[in-house]
Structure 1
Amino acid sequence: MISKIFMSLLWVGFLIYGFLLAPPGQPDTIELIQNLSTGNWDNINPLIISVFNSIGLVTVLYANLLFIDGREQKIVAWPFAITGLALGTFAILPYFILREPNPKFSGEKNLFIKLSDSRFLHLLLTITLLVFVFWGAISGSWVDFVSEWQSRRFINVMSLDLLCLCLIFPLIIRDDMLRRNIDSNTLFWVISLIPLLGTLVYLCFRPSLPQSETN
């Protein structure tokens, strides 16, 4: 219950900040989003490109986790997973608030589950994500990024969205570990205390889901 209250407050706080307290929107925001989405990256700070694409990749990781987690939930996970690809924290947190802890997996693994459980897919996503992160950090202008962060709502909220997504992975990782018969508090805390990187390593090397739950 405490965790649900915390997540609810975090979600409401994020909504209030994003719509009322963040820097004002700019008239060219739609054009910027279109350019970022279509790969028209000329004259765009690589750091901004890196953050934008990192959010996309991180939300794909969340979608994979939600497709598996939703198998044993009373609520349907896929609407949150799909909208999370566009809305990030705004869509992911409501699922975390509504879901119940359930460290079990049962039944046949359908195509979506097999894809979500694929080690190769997560290795590919991890490599791509790290390439964007390091490229943006090395090639981008931090001075320009800070200036944009202070003056543009889209850049400001997008950056905080990515930060929040990286920090809340442990809220769903624990049950994912238990479904794979990994009951290690030490490993869980290592993953939790190394934001994003700990989760990426876990997703790349975790054992596959069992075909059915063994009681």
Structure 2
Amino acid sequence: MTRKLGLWLLWAGFIAYILFLAPPLHLEETLTLLKNIFTLQWSNINPVILSLFSLVGIWLLIYSGLLFIDGRTQWIPFWPFALASVGSGVLGLIPYLAFREPNQEFSGRKDAFLQLLDSRFFGIVLSLSTIVLLFYALSFGDWKDFVQQFQSDRFIHGMSLAFCLFWFLFPTVLADDMGRRGWNNPQVFWAVAIFPLIGSLAYLCLRPPLQASSREEWLAANR
């Protein structure tokens, strides 16, 4: 109950902060930025901001690598919240984290989609993409401009804070995923949890594969 209450308070508090305390929203500039991103006119965008926008997408894929599996054993599936997160980022994710119950079990077989999310290939692709994005931002980005936009633009401000919240919330689902794989190691848990983004990507690359049960075992478990 305490965990759920904390998540709902965080969700409501973040919304209230963005609406009432964050810098003003420059709607026309925000729409132009999004248009340039989705039409691949990236030369008009500060590489730091473009990389940050992309890394929020990486975070959503990292969570997908855990929560589509987790949703198999929850009373509510993850996919509606995954769709909501595409448009609203962490605001679409937190309600699922609040609704779900702690569960370290998995039953049934992995379909092709879950096999992809469970594969080390998935983690490696995300890790390589992240390395490219970080290199692009660090090498070519205008960090002074980013700081200025963080302080004056609600969209950039909120997106930056959302990135931090993705990291902060990852431990809430990490322990269950480790438990499903029989990898209950406190040292690994804290190593993954402490290092922003890199720890989560390393976990996807190194975690043992999830063991699916046979059809007979799955039917027995769901009678």
The alignment's TM-score, normalised by the length of structure 1, stands at 0.95
Q: Which residue number corresponds to residue 7 of structure 1?
A: 7
Do structure 1's residue 204 and structure 2's residue 205 form an aligned pair?
yes
Q: Determine the C-alpha separation between the residues in 2 that align with 1:72 and 1:106.
A: 7
Q: Which residue number corresponds to residue 59 of structure 1?
A: 60
Do structure 1's residue 110 and structure 2's residue 111 form an aligned pair?
yes
Do structure 1's residue 22 and structure 2's residue 16 form an aligned pair?
no
Matches within 5 A, 1:145-184: 145-184=146-185
Q: Determine the C-alpha separation between the residues in 1 that align with 2:124 and 2:118.
A: 11
What residue ranges of structure 2 are gaps of 5+ in the alignment?
A: none
Q: Which residue number corresponds to residue 43 of structure 2?
A: 42
Do structure 1's residue 193 and structure 2's residue 194 form an aligned pair?
yes
Q: Determine the C-alpha separation between the residues in 1 that align with 2:192 and 2:62.
A: 15
Is 1:191–1:198's contact at 8 Å kept on the other side of the alignment?
A: yes
- Deviation string for 1:78-126 (max 9, x for gaps)? 1111221221110111000000000001101112211211210110011
Residue 149 of structure 1 aligns to which amino acid in structure 2?
A: F
Q: Determine the C-alpha separation between the residues in 2 that align with 1:20 and 1:206.
A: 41
| C-alpha displacement of 1:180 | 0.5
CA RMSD in angstroms, aligned pairs only:
1.6
Instruction: Report the secondary structure of 1:158's partner residue.
Output: helix
| C-alpha displacement of 1:189 | 1.3
| C-alpha displacement of 1:137 | 2.1
Instruction: Report the secondary structure of 1:101's partner residue.
Output: coil
Q: Which residue number corresponds to residue 98 of structure 2?
A: 97
Matches within 5 A, 1:109-148: 109-148=110-149
| C-alpha displacement of 1:33 | 0.8
Residue 137 of structure 1 aligns to which amino acid in structure 2?
A: L
More deviation in 190-199 or 65-74?
190-199
More deviation in 28-37 or 47-56?
28-37
Q: Determine the C-alpha separation between the residues in 2 that align with 1:126 and 1:86.
A: 23
What residue ranges of structure 1 are gaps of 5+ in the alignment?
A: none
Q: Determine the C-alpha separation between the residues in 2 that align with 1:44 and 1:204.
A: 31
Is 1:46–1:135's contact at 8 Å kept on the other side of the alignment?
A: yes
- Deviation string for 1:152-172 (max 9, x for gaps)? 111111111111112211111
Q: Determine the C-alpha separation between the residues in 1 that align with 2:41 and 2:58.
A: 18
Aligned residues with identical type, % of pairs = 43
Q: Determine the C-alpha separation between the residues in 2 that align with 1:189 and 1:165.
A: 16
Is 1:63–1:84's contact at 8 Å kept on the other side of the alignment?
A: no
| C-alpha displacement of 1:142 | 1.1
Q: Determine the C-alpha separation between the residues in 1 that align with 2:159 and 2:39.
A: 17
Matches within 5 A, 1:63-74: 63-74=64-75
| C-alpha displacement of 1:71 | 0.5
Q: Which runs of 4+ in 1 moved over 3 A?
A: none
Residue 161 of structure 1 aligns to which amino acid in structure 2?
A: A
Is 2:36–2:44's contact at 8 Å kept on the other side of the alignment?
A: no
Instruction: Give 1 or 2 for the bigger CA radius of gyration.
Output: 2
Instruction: Report the secondary structure of 1:108's partner residue.
Output: coil
Residue 129 of structure 2 aligns to which amino acid in structure 1?
A: T
Is 1:72–1:102's contact at 8 Å kept on the other side of the alignment?
A: yes
